[in-house]
């Protein structure tokens, strides 16, 4: 009987610690989201890495994104993707082709404008390891999708505790593919031109424009 009592007490204690850690993790993520929403705009330079040991895949790419509200301009792998609040423009200079579609991507995808707030819904939280990276304290929070249909197994979100800015995001899917986005620079309230998030068709003379709707 005493052994059973000890097991129950230990179990309840563990549940209590997990609940406290989940609350702590959610509070940190709420602080990150609130901080991001407080800026007029955000400009991020990043490194993107993709790896899968089974498939012997290792790829690295660099990119940048500017965000203001729900508008964004993403430059990645030679392609520019822009959302002006109403339409999405995918510009491929190599093919001299532009695809224009109304609305945004699937709500379940992590689009550039949601990369600093996507974790607010659809995930469970757990407090994870803390690391010192180049003199910065990076606290990790582990996210797990609430839906079993999600292809993502888990996401580790690294947060610089001195700024409440995201330092990196490590995503692992159910097939073992790992993608890591590391922020090289995080600038806020930049003097962007008033037309920064506006698509100007005259700049792309000779391009084939594919209007999906």
For the stretch 201-210, pLDDT in tens is: 999 999 999 9
Maximum mean pLDDT: which of 87-96, 102-111, 116-125: 87-96
Tell me the per-residue pLDDT of 16-52, one tens digit each, with 9 for 90 and over.
Answer: 344 456 789 999 999 999 999 999 999 999 999 999 8
* Alpha-carbon distance values, 100 to 29, 201, 205 (Å): 33, 11, 15
Contacts of 20 (CB under 8 A, 6+ apart): none
Section 123-144 average pLDDT: 95
The answer to whether 18 touches 38, Cβ cutoff 8 Å, is no
Average pLDDT, the chain: 88
Q: Which of 27-31, 89-93, 107-111 has the lowest mean pLDDT?
A: 107-111
Q: Is 91 helix (H, G, I), strand (E, B) or coil?
A: strand
Q: Which tokens hold the place of 5? A: 């009592």
pLDDT confidence bin for 4, thresholds 50/70/90: very low
Give the per-residue pLDDT at 187.
Answer: 97
pLDDT at 14: 39
9 or 213, which is more confident: 213
pLDDT tens for 159-184 read 999 999 999 999 999 998 999 999 99
Residue 54 is predicted with a pLDDT of 83
Instruction: State pLDDT tens for residues 52-61.
Output: 888 888 999 9
Q: Is the pLDDT of residue 80 over 90?
A: yes
Strand 208-211 to 57-68 pairing: unpaired
DSSP 163-204: TTEEEEEEEEETTS-EEEEEEEEEEES----TTTT---GGGG
């Amino acid at each position: 009987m005493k052994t059973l009592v000890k097991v129950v007490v230990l179990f309840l204690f563990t549940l209590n610690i997990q609940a406290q850690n989940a609350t702590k993790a959610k509070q940190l993520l709420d602080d990150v989201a609130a901080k991001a929403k407080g800026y007029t705009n955000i400009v991020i330079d990043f490194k993107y890495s993709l790896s899968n040991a089974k498939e012997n895949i290792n790829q690295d790419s660099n990119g940048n994104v500017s965000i203001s509200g729900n508008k964004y301009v993403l430059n990645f792998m030679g392609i520019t993707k822009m959302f002006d609040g109403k339409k999405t423009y995918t510009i491929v200079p190599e093919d001299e082709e532009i695809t224009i579609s109304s609305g945004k991507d699937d709500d379940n995808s992590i689009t550039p404008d949601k990369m600093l707030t996507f974790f607010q819904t659809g995930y469970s939280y757990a407090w994870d390891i803390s690391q010192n990276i180049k003199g910065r304290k990076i606290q990790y929070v582990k996210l797990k999708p609430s839906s079993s249909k999600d292809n993502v197994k888990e996401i580790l979100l690294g947060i610089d505790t001195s700024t409440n800015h995201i330092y990196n995001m490590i995503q692992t899917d159910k097939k073992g593919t790992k993608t890591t986005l590391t922020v090289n620079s995080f600038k806020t309230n930049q003097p962007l031109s008033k037309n920064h998030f506006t698509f100007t068709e005259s700049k792309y003379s000779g391009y084939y424009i594919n209007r999906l709707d």
